[in-house]
Structure 1
Amino acid sequence: MTIPMVLAEPARHRGRMDPPDPLLPGRAQRLAGLFAGLLLFVLGAWMIRGFLPALGWAVILAVATWPLYCRARAARPAASRLVLPLLATVGMALVFLLPLGAAALELGEEARQALHWAQEAHLQGAPVPGWVAGLPLLGPQASAWWAQTLAAPQLGAGFLHRLSEGELIGLGRSFGGAVAHRAVLFGFTLLALFFLFRDGEALAAQVLRVAERLFGPGMERVGRQAIASVRGTVSGLVLVGLGEGVLLGIAYAVARVPHPLMFGALTAVAAMVPFAAPLVFGAAALLLVAEGSPGAAVGVLAFGTVVLFVADHAVRPALIGGATRLPFLWVLLGILGGVEAFGLLGLFVGPAVMAVLVLLWRDAAGG
């Protein structure tokens, strides 16, 4: 036997070796593998816990806009797997960045005017405005504080000095840090959204296959229920909230509320959270009362109450509950509980969880 054959013999022998005997029996070995996989999953989730909200927002946006994306893909079948997802992601970015940019410009102008007013008040004093005395319940106390603090020249120097140097610097640092953090999360959301648009169908098939292997058949119905709930919640909260903001923005302009566009935008955002919109149009009504327009204030309150009643008792239940046959009580509990547990993301996660739970309950109850 030659030397190469002698050297090759152990390799062939090793190729025919039987696998080692398992240390655990078959069932215990499968449980150990499942436990190890679960442990690795928890470890991975803990490592990226700071980016989980961004991933959640990307999933919500992809689920909500997927029908529109499929229509665009059907209309442009020749588009590559890179161009169409990129255009869709850029479009979603503009949907958020354009309103935020307009709001930032408005806030910048308001801040400039506020600083100019503070300088004038420091040099010449700021007489008590008429609307301060007209504030309900707080008018006399507010007028007295204003007269003692800001009315005469140099009288409010200490107050304005502390406000401009101490609190504003700290507030600016906190605000800048928060903006930078959220900008990073927003960029990561867009990155994840691009990959979801590009590979969404393959990823959904993999998730469904793994879920059915872990929990058995029927997971497709659960997934469809959750998806329908997310889309219904987006329509019921976001679209209805925007509609309320537009209607009440027109009412603010008619009633001559200062900065009606800003109040309309605040109303649209607040209307996405149940029972939050009255805080905005109530503040607008108080501002009208302070300016000596109680009739317009009553009109804003009445119109806002009617719009809110119709939206919360007719439109939203039809959009959210109608998509999943979910009673509005459970929709409301899902929204409020989701916001408490997950913040703003819970607006969409909460109703989806409730929709799945109600579906499982109906299956267990046999109807």
Structure 2
Amino acid sequence: MVDLRQSRDVPQVMLSVLFLAIMIIACLWIVQPFILGFAWAGTVVIATWPLLLRLQRLLFGRRSLAVLVMMLLLILLFIVPVALLVNSLVDSSGPVIHAITTGSMSPPDLAWLHSIPLVGEKLYSGWHNLLDMGGTAIMAKLRPYVGATTTWFVGQAAHIGRFMLHCGLMLLFSALLYWRGEQVAQGIRHFAVRLAAKRGDAAVLLAGQAIRAVALGVVVTALVQAVLGGIGLAISGVPYATLLTVVMLMTCLIQIGPLLVLVPAIIWLYWSGDSTWGTVLLVWSCVVATLDNFIRPVLIRMGADLPLILILSGVIGGLIAFGMIGLFIGPVLLAVSWRLFSAWVNEVPEPTTRAEDVLNDEQNSQASS
């Protein structure tokens, strides 16, 4: 009998795979400077695509006008806050840097310790006894380390230029994706179908839903809490309210919450003697801190029908593993993996036999063998 199957040319297969791997690595190397900007642009476009379509309907079906409005909104949401943050950092760090470089930095008096009931006087006396026994020498020893730390933070300002570059690339790619979003989505779905048939298409669609769920449930909730908390700080007269608002946004994004910033501000108001505004900020902080319990589940359900614990675990784990972009990568990976795993498990029916019968059958089979 003649074997019509052709023998595999192993060296040819190996060289073909090696060539493809080299081409893929080379392409990734070339586009590496644009990957982060494109990833942010894709995330933003997927999360805001329904808003673009709504604007297009309102603007007489003109995609160009809708894209223009969306780009203006993105500039207001990204460029303006970054500029305010940089300006606040410069204004806040100027006096500190001047005090350190001129050597005029001295230990604080901590006169507010008097206002602490029962132990305030003892704390104040103990602090000044420490200063009399060498507090100035202690500060002299600590000053070089403080100066080195400040120098490091100032050196990080060089990264602002890179961040602004990524913001610019994000805006450019966002405009392109808004303009040709349907074609890009169809191409990605086509590739997914070629790669994994119907399941690949479902995975791509689920990834889009997960991104929208995170954008609505996590980012929007964090923005609402940070803005409301910042308004409370500004009205209460807390200094550096803009900088504290940005810090509060970061703590809300990583699921720590706004109280990490608001509680010290409340304590500062009480210690400074402004108990009225301290009480107002305390009540306002209670409202702001509990908003996420009501807003986040509703918004996540609007984006995708996914378990809340899955989204939050992906947000925290992705942030630790990948940085800020991990806020979206983590939930997407967990959501897609969960749905694929669930679909694979549900391909067979659930067991209907009682657990006792299964155990008895297993024991009988082992005894007979």
- TM-score above 0.5: yes
CA–CA separation in structure 1 for the residues paired with 2:214 and 2:54? 21
TM-score, with length taken from structure 2: 0.73
Which stretches of structure 1, 4 residues or more, deviate above 6 A after TM superposition? 26-32, 116-121, 132-138
1:102-143 per-residue CA deviation (whole Å, 9 max, x = no partner) reads 2333333333444676799839x7862423676999965765
2:27 maps to which of 41, 44, 47: 44
Which is further off, 344-353 or 64-73? Answer: 64-73
Query: For the Cα contact (< 8 Å) 2:306–2:335, is it kept in 1?
Result: yes
Moved more, 272-281 or 299-308: 299-308
One-letter identity of the residue aligned with 1:349: I
- Kindly state the Cα deviation for residue 342 of structure 1 after the two structures are TM-superposed: 0.9
Are the aligned partners of 2:217 and 2:295 in contact in 1 as well (CA < 8 Å)? yes
Q: CA deviation at 1:309?
A: 3.3
CA distance in 2, matches of 1:167, 1:329: 38
* Partner SS for 2:254: coil
SS across alignment from 1:217: helix
Q: 1:149 to 1:307 in 2, by over 3 A?
A: same
Offset of residue 63 of structure 1: 0.9
2:344 match: 364
Give 2:81's aligned residue.
99
Question: Alpha carbons of 1:324 and 1:85: their partners in 2 closer, same or farther (altered >3 Å)?
Answer: closer
**TM superposition shift of 1:86:** 5.9
When residues 271 and 144 of structure 1 are mapped into structure 2, their CA distance, relative to the original with a 3 A threshold, is farther
The equivalent of 1:272 in structure 2 is 253
Give the alignment of 1:165-184 within 5 angstroms.
168-172=150-154, 174-184=155-165
CA distance in 2, matches of 1:283, 1:339: 25
Q: Give the structure 1 partner of residue 297 of structure 2.
A: 317
Cα separation, 2, equivalents of 1:143 and 1:56: 54
- Change in Cα spacing, 1:67 to 1:272, as seen in structure 2 (3 Å) is same
Match of 1:334 among 284, 304, 314: 314
Counterpart in 2 of 1:288? Answer: 269
In 2, Cα distance between equivalents of 1:144 and 1:40: 70
Question: Is residue 53 of structure 2 the alignment partner of residue 70 of structure 1?
Answer: yes
SS in 1 for 2:109: coil
Aligned length: 336
Are residues 170 and 133 of structure 1, via their aligned partners in 2, closer, same or farther at CA, if it must alter by over 3 Å?
farther
In 1, Cα distance between the equivalents of 2:37 and 2:27?
Answer: 15
Superposed displacement of residue 343, structure 1: 0.8
Alpha-carbon RMSD across the aligned residues, in angstroms, is 4.1
Structure 2 residue identity aligned to 1:186: C
1:339 shift after superposition: 0.7
Does structure 2 conserve the Cα–Cα contact (< 8 Å) formed by 1:133 and 1:142? no
Contact kept? 1:278, 1:304, Cα under 8 Å: yes
Q: How do 1:296-311 and structure 2 match up within 5 A?
A: 300=281, 303-311=284-292
- Unaligned 5+ segments in structure 2 are 1-5, 348-369
CA-CA distance at 1:201 after TM superposition: 1.8
Paired with 1:134 and 1:185, the residues of 2 have a C-alpha distance of: 49
Identity of aligned pairs, percent?
Answer: 21
Matches within 5 A, 1:87-126: 88-114=70-96, 122=104
Equivalent residue number for residue 197 of structure 1: 178
Given that 1:249 and 1:264 are in contact with CA atoms closer than 8 Å, whether structure 2 keeps it comes out as: yes
Q: Is the 8 A contact 2:107 2:135 kept in 1?
A: no
Q: 1:35 to 1:118 in 2, by over 3 A?
A: closer
- Unpaired stretches in structure 1, ≥5 consecutive residues: 1-22
Q: Does 1:248 align with 2:229?
A: yes
CA distance in 2, matches of 1:179, 1:163: 24
Deviations 1:204-237 (A, max 9, x none): 1111111101111243332222112211211112
1:85/1:324 CA distance change after superposition, 3 Å: closer
What letter corresponds to residue 95 of structure 1 in structure 2? L
Q: Does 1:239 align with 2:258?
A: no
Query: CA offsets per residue over residues 159-205 of structure 1, 9 Å max, x none?
Result: 79858976555542x22322122222222222322322233221211
Q: How far off is 1:44 after superposition?
A: 2.6
Question: What is residue 228 of structure 1 aligned with on the other side?
Answer: 209
Task: Give per-residue Cα distances to partners, 1:233-291, cap 9 Å, x unaligned.
Answer: 11112221122123323443554433445434432342122124221112213323432
Who is 2:360 aligned against? none
For the residue of structure 1 that corresponds to 2:104, the secondary structure is: helix
Q: Tell me which of 61, 64, 68 is aligned to 2:44.
A: 61
